[in-house]
Structure 1
Amino acid sequence: MTALPDSLAEIVDDFAAVDGQDKLTLLLEFSRELPPLPADLVEASMEPVPECQSPLFLSVDASDRGHVRLHFSAPAEAPTTRGFASILHQGLDGSSAAEILAVPDDFYADLGLAEAVSPLRLRGISAMLARIKRHLRD
């Protein structure tokens, strides 16, 4: 597997260290850690990710001297979607475009959530990563 940025690799390791329902508990913890949007960023200017089961919007800013800034907006009543967004935020925000583009598209399989979360929900984290990468390639 391609090396993950250290922060994302740590998250994958955290999920690998727990089993069953504890994975969902960890995902819920991540959902509570999704930071609020900066005051100057409004959801209306963000890209929707319709593949997610719940409304999710993202912003990708690669103008910060080689460091990518990621922002996500998801409703509090969508903890799975918020958890996935928080994983990507904590794991990739501040990384270089090259580091993010090198992340395997299916890295989320290593989180071990396939038995706890539906494939339709997992499609959401895949779509978020794909859109981030698309922004960085454009």
Structure 2
Amino acid sequence: MSEMPTKLAEIVDEFAAAPRDVVLEMLLEFADVIPPLPEGVDRSELEQVPECQTAFFLRAQVNPDRTVTTLFDCPPEAPTTRAFAGILAEGLAGASAEDVLAVPDDLYQRMGLAQAISPLRVRGGTAILARLKRQVREQIA
């Protein structure tokens, strides 16, 4: 099993080392990272994550070279949830299916977010990661 992708590990380390009062600010910077859905892709083609408090949809696509492309759709009024997706989008860019599956399930706790945001939001972020990994597993099986 491979290790967490380098870019994601760097993001995790930055958050873990940051003073608690800065963590939320850092988190919200990732809310702007998610690009809009590509032309021709409809939200109905994505899987909803019901654990999120807001309407949140995602899709992981394993490409022929085994890299994973992620698609996320989340309203701008949900900056924390968008930030979770932004962290994954940036941290997993160009990652292989194996790299995605190697991401620890307690990613957001490792980042120190459990101390900065509500358990409900952490659970939503954890559900996003779990669904992403499940979709990758199903495609490489």
Counterpart position of 1:52: 52
- Per the alignment, residue 13 of structure 1 pairs with 13
Displacement of 1:72 in angstroms is 0.4
Question: Identity percentage over the alignment?
Answer: 50
- Distance apart, 1:25 and its partner CA: 0.3
Which residue is equivalent to 1:4? 4
How far apart, CA to CA, are the structure 1 residues paired with 2:117 and 2:61?
A: 29
Question: How high is the TM-score relative to the length of structure 1?
Answer: 0.93
Match of 2:28 in 1: 28
CA apart distance, 1:129 = 0.9
TM-score normalized by the length of structure 2:
0.91
Q: Following TM superposition, where does structure 1 have runs of at least 4 consecutive aligned residues deviating by more than 4 angstroms?
A: none
Q: Distance in 1 between matches of 2:38 and 2:14?
A: 28
- For the residues of structure 1 that align with 2:93 and 2:70, how far apart are their CA atoms? 5
The residue correspondences of 1:25-104 to structure 2 (distance < 5 A) are: 25-104=25-104
Quote the Cα distance in structure 1 between the aligned partners of 2:36 and 2:10. Answer: 22
2:72 is paired with a residue of what secondary structure? strand
Aligned pair count reads 137
Q: CA deviation at 1:64?
A: 4.2
SS in 2 for 1:114: helix
With 72-81 and 28-37 compared, the bigger mean Cα shift is at 28-37
Name the Cα RMSD after superposition. 1.3
Structure 2: give runs of 5+ residues left out of the alignment: none
Distance 2:89 2:123 in 1: 17
